[in-house]
Amino acid sequence: MKLIEQTKQWVARKQMAVLKSFGKMAQNSQFSISFCDTHIEIVRAFEKFFHDCVPVEILHGNILNLSCDALVSLANSFGDMGGGLIKRLMTFMEDLRRKK
């Protein structure tokens, strides 16, 4: 079962375009950060800003296809999580729960 899940994650990640991969020294870093967006203009801005940051990779695609330990999303000043990425994540997780 674990192999099937790993394969699904690998296939989903292959659907994402890597604009900047982790640097060679990233393996020695205590952390790594993946910036991901579906809008190419935002991805290009990330790429330009983080071009020399070793533990950073820049991806163009759906963040829900990213296999990671944590997702961080900006929130508004009211802490309302009813829209944007958080809403999509909540819907995604609810759909997963229903399938089980």
The owner of tokens 């375009």 is 17
Please compute the mean of the pLDDT values over residues 36-51 and round it to a whole number.
90
Q: Report DSSP letters for 13-74, one per residue.
A: HHTSEEEEPPPGGGGGSS--EEEEES-HHHHHHHHHHTTT-TTEEEEES-GGG---S-----
Q: How far apart are CA 39 and CA 63, in angstroms?
A: 11
In this model, does residue 45 exceed pLDDT 90?
A: yes
In this model, does residue 9 exceed pLDDT 60?
A: no
Domain ranges of the chain: 2-69, 72-100
28 versus 1: the higher-pLDDT residue is 28
**Full-model pTM:** 0.62
pLDDT per residue as tens digits for the range 65-78:
877 787 776 666 66
Please compute the mean of the pLDDT values over residues 93-97 and round it to a whole number.
80
Q: How far apart are CA 87 and CA 65, in angstroms?
A: 16
Pairing of strands 56-60, 17-20: antiparallel
Could you tell me which residues come within 8 angstroms of residue 87 by beta carbon, excluding any fewer than 6 positions away?
Answer: 81
In this model, does residue 79 exceed pLDDT 90?
A: no
pLDDT of 17 reads 82
